Amino acid sequence: MAQWVFAFGNGSAQGKAEMRALLGGKGANLAEMSNLGLPVPPGFTVTTEVCTYFYAHGGRYPANLKAAVDTAMDRIGELMGARFGDPKQPLLVSVRSGARASMPGMMDTVLNLGLNAETAEGLAALTGDARFAYDSYRRFVQMYANVVLGLEHGLFEEILETEKETKGIELDTELDADDLKRIASLFKRQVEKDTGDPFPENVHDQLWGAIGAVFGSWQSARAKTYRRLHNIPEEWGTAVNVQAMVFGNRGNGSATGVAFTRDPSTGEKILYGEFLINAQGEDVVAGIRTPQTVSKIVRERQKSRHPSMEEALPQAYAELKGICDRLEAHYRDMQDVEFTVQDGRLFMLQTRSGKRTAEAALKIAVDMVQEGLIDRNTAISRIDPGALDQLLHPTLDADAPKELIATGLAASPGAATGEVVFTADEAERLASDGRAVILVRAETSPEDIHGMHAAKGILTARGGMTSHAAVVARGMGRPCVSGAGSVKIDVAAGSMACGPVTIRRGEKITIDGATGQVFKGAVEMRQPELTGDFGTLMSWADSIRRLKVRTNADTPTDAATARRFGAEGIGLCRTEHMFFNAERIIAVRQMILADNEGERRAALAKLLPMQRGDFVEIFRTMEGLPVTIRLLDPPLHEFLPQNEDEIADVARAAGGTPAKLRARAIALHESNPMLGHRGCRLGITYPEIYEMQARAIFEAALEVEKSGNTPVQLEIMIPLVGFRSELEFLKTRIEAVAASIEKERGRRPAYLIGTMIELPRAALRAADIAQTAEFFSFGTNDLTQTALGLSRDDAGTFLTEYLSKHLIGKDPFVSIDREGVGELVQIAAERGRSARPGLKLGICGEHGGDPDSIRFCHQAGLDYVSCSPFRVPVARLAAAQAALSATAPETD
């Protein structure tokens, strides 16, 4: 027969920490602390299985539960020298919920349960403190009415206010025992009025009412929503914890507080907490009195006048410090504890792993390894790779004064200060003079790339998390706030209005891409630190991970940044970004406007030395590492000008007429460019484009080799392949270029030719394609778009609704859709390697920098992930965690 109730306290317990599933987090830790011999007020836990039983049986309890609870209550009474409901020696308890995972929406806490008119009087007599007894009583009635019976808190506050007004006083503390006794009665009358039933005087009714309320709250709307959002199974259920009350409000020898075993902001090893003398837990939260610091060193640093606990209650402090050290040693993690001191005697009410900042997490993990508390693997597992991102960018000084003028989406992390400019050209011009600028645009387009690169940060009025600005900024590691709808830009006037504030061109603003906030003027910043604990942890991660980490980099600058962050190669070098440069775009447009292959080749000949130059620099930077270069991918119309002024300019520069330019733009217009004439389809209809690119790559490789640098490992990547025949066609042509280079110069560089796998058909036909492709790189952005039939640019309008209606758990462009896109990746990996054993597999979509997706890539057996330079450390850590959890069961 199941054991429904587990007792704890008095130096032993029937449960332990490992029984979290049965006892909930709080119950398991209370049991564990009891087993450690720590001073835990005695109590018991009603198991989660009772909750399951309760729901399976229409709200009934197991037959023998009542007897077990009675026995457990008796045991508490014996240990406390009291009896539940006994007016002479009344036993008071707290009742709390405690699910397996911490869960908002669940019933919180009822304190002082066991008080009624008789026991309140008894408590007054026993303690000789009638005011304490009746204050406890009225608090209990109010809390029970609110938490268990569901009445509005405000009703009771009103009664309290009325009473204070009648008496002509302002503070609760001015109420005496009689006042409080009368108020308790008024509270009870209010309950009867609102519920139709008298307030329960029988303490057992009170207890079962509270237990029922905890179980009932498991199915509250808020709890259900939270579970669905966090994939918590309904059948887990919640436990109920009943525990003897101890009182921090029994005079100046009593106190209550919370503490972290280390500083949760910095990770420093000091006892960091707050406490209040002569108070109950809720007073700390209520903020009526300013809490004091727990340890002296913190008081001194904060220059506080109020004595620390170390000074005010040195004995209890010493005991607490000892217990905290034991708990850390026992749990091998920083703890967040709650305690109460009753008449000088310390009681522990809760312990759990403490939440901490990324910085603290890093320091604590590294320190604990050095202290011998945990091993390196554990240290690595403890850091949230996503949070790491904030350590890699400058952050705003939290204490610095700031004037918030607008808020948008936190599109790309990091903070930046600079002069406001409204055009990409201006950004570039000012930046070349060494001035820091923030590029402000309604929205950005590929033609703004040079300005985005030149700017310290980007602010847009329109566009979501996956807008052009956001995606490109993340790729470049530029801070970005996108979609700040309240910002009205007047480019002609050279100003922007942010509500009442107007900022003119050249005035400074500061943006925080981690919060989406925009501030007037410059704000103090803290610079990231990539050495020290960070470097230590990264080196541990590198020794564990199997996945290689490469970067998506289109420029020598990006490549250098990524190498500093530890990138082991370039997984995606997009050649089209090189085409947007102001001096080159003319030749690109001449190529597009060409009437025949001859004219096209002439225009391409102008581009050749420029592309070659780009590659030379990148190859030098990468010093012998692998570099995957993707040949031209976007549809040609992306290179054409958009408005009439531009068209006239371009016609002049590129040597055509505006009419011809317009006609070409119309001819190139597509209904669905994402599915149109792009990728290898361009290479097939205009082979001369890819031939020029191949030549630029090969010549650059030879030039780098000739000048004594280590030759990079060249990987030429063909985008958007759906049929092996496409790849065959293009591979033959690239090989012909290599052959003619060898003929001209006597040698050719070593290279591989591979393909993106970014169409469902390509994934399915991987065995066939792998007979031609020498490597695969999964373009999971486009694979997500095609497999889900979902345009990334257009999904914003309904995807948020999908998320809010819980139709999908996560944005599939952020975290890979394992069930759909993931299966395609697995199919392709398996089939590709069946045809070509050892086929090199990587991923170069945005998912390459997402920890969940990286875990998936590890599981799918890929060789590397490639992500934007600033995500490289995140990916290194996530890859190490994936390797560590490879044998652990999947939890999300």
- Which residues of this protein are in contact with its own copies, per CB under 8 A? 670-677, 681, 684-685, 720, 722-723, 725-726, 729, 758-761, 764-765, 768, 782, 785-791, 793-795, 797-798, 801-802, 805-808, 817, 819-821, 823-824
| Sheet (strand 272-277) strand order | 292-293, 272-277, 255-260, 335-342, 345-353
Contact 334, 264 (CB under 8 A): yes
Catalytic residue, from 844, 847, 857, 858: name it: 844
> Phi, psi at residue 96, to the nearest 5°?
-135, 150
Nearest-approach distance from CB 791 to its own copies, in angstroms: 4
Q: Which is nearer to its own copies, 521 or 676 (CB)?
A: 676
Report the residue number, 745 or 806, with the smaller CB distance to its own copies. 806
Question: What does DSSP assign to residue 821?
Answer: I
Looking at beta carbons only, is 538 or 860 nearer to its own copies? 860
User: Least Å distance between CB 801 and its own copies?
Assistant: 6
| Number of H-type helices and E-type strands within the chain | 35, 31
If the CB atoms of residues 658 and 760 are measured against its own copies, the closer one turns out to be: 760
Q: How far is the CB of 230 from its own copies (least distance, A)?
A: 16
Q: Give the nearest distance from C-beta 777 to its own copies in angstroms.
A: 16
* Smallest gap from residue 765 Cβ to its own copies (A): 6
Residue nearer to its own copies on the CB measure, 442 or 648: 442
| Min dist. Cβ of residue 425 to its own copies (A) | 25
Distance of closest approach, residue 670 Cβ to its own copies, in angstroms: 4
Show Cβ contacts of residue 776 under 8 Å, excluding neighbours closer than 6 positions.
754, 755, 756, 757, 766, 769, 770, 828, 829, 832, 839, 840, 841, 842
Closest CA to 43 of 18, 70, 6: 6
Q: In what order do the strands lie in the sheet with 404-407?
A: 404-407, 517-520, 508-512, 415-421, 437-441, 457-460, 480-482, 409-412
Helix (H, G, I), strand (E, B) or coil at 758: coil
Pairing of strands 864-867, 840-843: parallel
Beta strands (DSSP E) in 292-436 are 292-293, 335-342, 345-353, 395-396, 404-407, 409-412, 415-421
Q: Known catalytic residue: 867? A: no
Contact 111, 96 (CB under 8 A): no
- Cβ-contact 709, 619 below 8 angstroms: yes
Cα–Cα distance list, 729 to 688, 690, 698, 750, 751 (Å): 13, 12, 19, 20, 17
Is residue 468 annotated as part of the catalytic site, yes or no?
A: yes
C-beta of 497 vs 790, nearer to its own copies: 790
Nearer to its own copies, 381 or 826 (CB): 826
Of 743 and 805, which has the nearer Cβ to its own copies? Answer: 805
H or E element that contains 662: helix 658-668
CB of 862 to its own copies, least distance (A): 19
**Contacts (Cβ under 8 Å, ≥6 apart) of 122:** 86, 87, 88, 89, 90
Stretch (H or E) spanning 273 = strand 272-277
Pick 60 or 228: Cβ nearer its own copies: 228
Residue 478 Cβ vs its own copies, minimum distance, rounded to whole Å: 23
Write down the catalytic residue from 393, 450, 453, 468. Answer: 468
CA-based nearest residue to 473, from 563, 558, 575: 558
Q: Is 268 helix (H, G, I), strand (E, B) or coil?
A: coil
Minimal distance, residue 575 CB to its own copies, in Å: 20
Nearer to its own copies, 545 or 724 (CB): 724
* Distance (Å, whole) CA 146 – CA 73: 24
CB-nearer residue toward its own copies: 273 or 719? 719
Q: Output the smallest distance, CB 596 to its own copies, in A.
A: 15
CA distance 40 to 53: 29
Helices marked H in 168-313: 177-195, 203-217, 221-229, 281-286, 296-302, 309-312
**163 three-state secondary structure:** helix
How far apart are alpha carbons 462 and 63 in whole angstroms? 62
For residues 530 and 519, give the distance between their C-alpha atoms in angstroms, rounded to a whole number: 27
Q: Which two tokens stand for residue 858?
A: 């590890």
Half-sphere exposure of 560 (CA within 13 A, CB side): 6
Task: State the catalytic residues.
Answer: 468, 844
